[in-house]
Structure 1
C-alpha cells in the first residue's frame, strides 16, 4: 500500500504543477503587436467595402443590404459612375460646372490639364484597376475633374461667406435637384466607395481662393454631437490641412473621408500596451454601475478619446470610464460603418489603428440587455433615434465584423486592474447599489419608529 502511494505521488505533484502553470498562463498578459506603422505595399487608398461589412448590411436591424456602401443621390469616383439613377445629378454637375467655367475659362483649362497629368496615380488609388479599364484616360480625367469640382463647390455652397445670401444666386443651391436632396448628398460624400484622391482635390483648389474644408467638416461632424454643437477648439482639421507642418506627423489625407476620420478620432497614441486576456473582457453598463464605475461623456467628443480611470477626482475608491457621446440615427450609423470600413482597409498601416472600430466594440460589450442601453442613454453616451432594441441590435450586429486596437485593450486592461485592486469596495458598492431602496425604506421605518418612541416617551414624562 505504501509502495503504491509512493508511485502515485510524482503523478499528483506533476498534475498540481501543471494546474498552477495553466493558471499562471491564463493570468499572464500579452502585448498588442502593432505599436509601429507597417508600410503599405500598394498605392490603393480607395477600396470597395470589405465582404464582412457587406454581410453586416444583411443582418443589421437599421440598415438595408449594402445601403451603407451605396450612394443615394450622387456618384463620386468610378465605382458607381454611369448608374442610371445618378444621370440626373450628372447633368446638374456638368451644367453648373460649365456655368462656373464661363467666368474662368483659362483657369479651368489649366486645372483640367493638371488633372489629366494625375490620371495614372489617381487610377492606382482605386482597388481593382482592371475594372476601370473601360474608362479611357481622357474620360477618367474628365470624371475626376467633374466630381472633384462638384465636391468642392458643394462645400462652398454649404458654408457661404454670407449666410444671409439668397440661395438663388448659388450655382448648386439654385438647382432643385440639389437643394431638395442636401442631406442625401452630404451623406454620399463621406462613403468609402464615393471618394476622389486628395491630389486631385488639391489641384482643383486652385479654382477657389479658399475652400471652407474645415467649416464643412465641422458641419458634418455636428450630426454626431448631442445638441448639434461643434467640437470647436478641439478641431484638428485646420492642423491636418496646414501644409507647413511636419509631414511625418500630419501626412496628406488620402481623400475627404480619410480627413474626416482623422478629425473624429484625434491624434494617435503610439505607446506599446500590455493587455489582458480576452476572456476577462466582459462588463455591461449596468454591471459597471454596480461596481462603482461611472460612465461619463468625454469633453473632446472624439471617438479615439476612450479612457478608464481607476480613481475619480475626490472619490478615490470609484472608477470612471469616459467615452465620446454620439447621436445615433440613419446618417451617423452609415458614417460609423464607413469609417470602420476605412479602418479595415488601412489595417496595420498606422500606429494605434482601429479607433472607431474599438469605440463601437466597447459600446457593444457594454450592452447585453435593453437596461444597458437605457443606462448608456441616461449617462449621455448614446442619444439614439432608434428604440432600445434597434440600438442594441446595431452595435451587437456590427461588432463581430470589426478589428480592435490599442484603445480597446487599454480600457479593459485598466478595468481588469480596477477589479483586482478594488474587489472589497466593489462587493460593498454592489450590495448598496442593489439594495439601496430597501435600505432607504428600512431607515425610513426606523426613523418613523424612533420619532413615535420619542413622542410616547415625552408624553409619559409630562404625565408624571
Structure 2
C-alpha cells in the first residue's frame, strides 16, 4: 500500500468518526426520521401528516397547503395576544434558528433542508411554533360547543382527529428550542398550558365514556430534570410515567427470553389473573403474588385510529434513542408495553378476553385489533427489565406450581362438564333423600 493511499484511508476513517461524533453528540435534541426498521409497517397511517405539516420534513406538500393560511392566522393571534409585534417575536426565533436547524442534520435528514434558506427556515419555525402554542390555548379553552372561547371560527377546521394525530408524528416535529423561546414570551402562561395540553392528549389513551376529555384530567408535572427534544417526546414522557429509576435503565431485546406460552387464554388456563392497573402510565405493569396464582396488572388502553398512530410513533421515538439515553427518558416503556400486550394475543379469543378484563377497549374490530398487535411491530422493538422480569416470573410460576396449574387447567377446560356432573349428582342426592323419606315408617 503506497503512502498516499494509506493517508487517504486514514483521513476517510477520521472524517467518518468526526461525522458520527457530531450526529450522536447531540442525539437527544434531534428531529429524527421514522426508523427504517419500522417503515415497512407503514401503509400511510403512521408517518406522513394528513392535515398539517409541522417542521421541515413534510413542509410544502401540496395536499397540506390549506393549513398554511390557518398557521399564519394563528401566528397573528399569538403575537397579538402577547401584545408584541410579529416582527419582535420573529426576531426572538431568529436568534435560535441555527440551533434549531442543527437538530435536522441527522444522517439522511439533512437532505430535507438543502434547498431551504436560513430566512425561510426561520420563518417556518416562527409560524409552526406560534401555531402549535396558539392551538394549545384554543383547545384548552373549549366550552363544549366545538370552538374555543375567544378562538376565531376557522379553528373548527383544526378540531379533528386528523389534525391532532399530526401533532405527534415523529417526522412532524419542531425543535424544543423554538417552543421554549416562544414560551418565554409568555412566562406567566407557559409551561402550565403546555403541561395541561399534554395531559389532555394523554386522556385519549384511557378507557373513557365521558366525551369531555378535559374534565378531571391530571396535569403533567415537569421537575426540570428532563428537557424534551420535541412535543412527541413530551407526550412520551407523560405516558411513560416520567424518568426511570436506576434499576430500570437496562436495554433489552437481544438476550434469549424465557420460553413462556402467555396468550390471554393460556394465562387463564394456568391461573394467572389479568387486571387493569391503577394508573394509566405504561410503565405500571407488574406480576404480583396472589393466594394461589399470580395477578398480572397492566394499564388499560383505548385503541383507536388516533392512539394507534401515537403509540407507533412513540415506539419509533424510542427506537431512535441511543442507550442509555433511551432508558433514561422512558426506558423503552412504550415498546415494552406494546410487546407485552402483543404477547397476550394469539387469536381473536384473546382479544375478547382482554376486552372482558377491561385491559383493552377498541374502536377497531377484534380482527383489526389483533392485526395491529401481531403485524410485526414488536419484532423490531427493544424491551426493558420490567418486561423481562414479568416473563421470568411467569416461567418460575409454571415451573414451581405445576401441580396446582395441572389441577387448575383441568378444571378450567372441563368446568362446564364438572358443573353438569355436580348438578346431576345433586339432583340424584335429592331424589335419594326423597325416596328415603317416603320409605320411613
- Which residue, 403, 410, 431 being the options, matches 1:431? 410
Contact 2:251–2:331 under 8 Å retained in 1: no
Give the secondary-structure state (helix, strand or coil) at the position aligned to 1:251: coil
Q: Distance in 2 between matches of 1:301 and 1:183?
A: 21
Match in the other structure for 2:239: 264
Which 5+ residue runs of structure 2 have no aligned equivalent? 1-22
Show CA shifts across 1:187-238 (max 9, x none).
1111111111112111111343314122211221111111156799995722
Contact 1:73–1:89 under 8 Å retained in 2: yes
Q: Distance in 1 between matches of 2:94 and 2:308?
A: 36
The 3 A distance-change label for structure 1 pair 168 and 431 is: closer
Q: Which moved more, 1:80-89 or 1:279-288?
A: 279-288
Show CA shifts across 1:69-113 (max 9, x none).
111110000001111111111012113423553565645433322
Match in the other structure for 2:424: 445
Q: Distance in 2 between matches of 1:85 and 1:151?
A: 19
Q: Distance in 2 between matches of 1:164 and 1:329?
A: 22
Q: Which moved more, 1:98-107 or 1:216-225?
A: 98-107
CA RMSD of aligned residues (A): 2.6
Match in the other structure for 1:144: 125
Q: Distance in 1 between matches of 2:407 and 2:251?
A: 29
Question: How far did residue 373 of structure 1 move?
Answer: 1.2
Q: Distance in 1 between matches of 2:214 and 2:393?
A: 27
1:170 aligns with 2:150: yes
- Which residue, 382, 399, 416 being the options, matches 1:420? 399
1:399-418 superposed matches below 5 A: 399-418=378-397
Structure possessing the higher radius of gyration over alpha carbons: 1
Give the secondary-structure state (helix, strand or coil) at the position aligned to 2:296: strand
The 3 A distance-change label for structure 1 pair 45 and 235 is: farther
Contact 1:236–1:263 under 8 Å retained in 2: no
Contact 2:54–2:167 under 8 Å retained in 1: yes
Show CA shifts across 1:319-363 (max 9, x none).
111111101111111111100110001142233622111111111
Give the secondary-structure state (helix, strand or coil) at the position aligned to 2:184: helix
Contact 1:347–1:353 under 8 Å retained in 2: no
Match in the other structure for 1:53: 38
The 3 A distance-change label for structure 1 pair 279 and 228 is: same
1:41-440 superposed matches below 5 A: 41-43=25-27, 44-57=29-42, 65-102=43-80, 106=84, 108-126=86-104, 127=106, 128-160=109-141, 163=143, 167=147, 170-171=150-151, 173-175=152-154, 178-179=156-157, 181-208=159-186, 209-211=188-190, 212-227=193-208, 235=218, 237-238=220-221, 240=222, 245=223, 247=224, 250-267=225-242, 268-271=244-247, 277-309=256-288, 311-312=289-290, 316-348=291-323, 349-351=325-327, 353-397=331-375, 398-440=377-419
**Larger relative contact order (Cα-Cα within 8 Å, sequence gap ≥ 6):** 1
Show CA shifts across 1:10-32 (max 9, x none).
xxxxxxxxxxxxxxxxxxxxxxx
Q: Distance in 1 between matches of 2:34 and 2:176?
A: 19
Count, aligned residues: 402
Match in the other structure for 1:4: none
Contact 2:56–2:112 under 8 Å retained in 1: no
Contact 1:111–1:203 under 8 Å retained in 2: no
Show CA shifts across 1:389-408 (max 9, x none).
21111101122232222222
Question: How far did residue 254 of structure 1 move?
Answer: 1.0
Contact 2:276–2:357 under 8 Å retained in 1: yes
Question: How far did residue 168 of structure 1 move?
Answer: 8.0
Q: Distance in 2 between matches of 1:205 and 1:451?
A: 79
Q: Distance in 1 between matches of 2:148 and 2:280?
A: 36
With structure 1 as the length reference, what TM-score do the two structures score?
0.80
Q: Which moved more, 1:75-84 or 1:265-274?
A: 265-274
Which 5+ residue runs of structure 1 have no aligned equivalent? 1-38, 58-64
Q: Distance in 2 between matches of 1:453 and 1:77?
A: 83
Q: Which moved more, 1:385-394 or 1:125-134?
A: 125-134
Contact 1:237–1:259 under 8 Å retained in 2: no
Give the secondary-structure state (helix, strand or coil) at the position aligned to 1:383: strand
Q: Distance in 1 between matches of 2:38 and 2:343?
A: 19
Contact 1:46–1:195 under 8 Å retained in 2: yes
Question: How far did residue 364 of structure 1 move?
Answer: 1.2
Q: Distance in 1 between matches of 2:172 and 2:357?
A: 35
Q: Distance in 1 between matches of 2:260 and 2:37?
A: 23
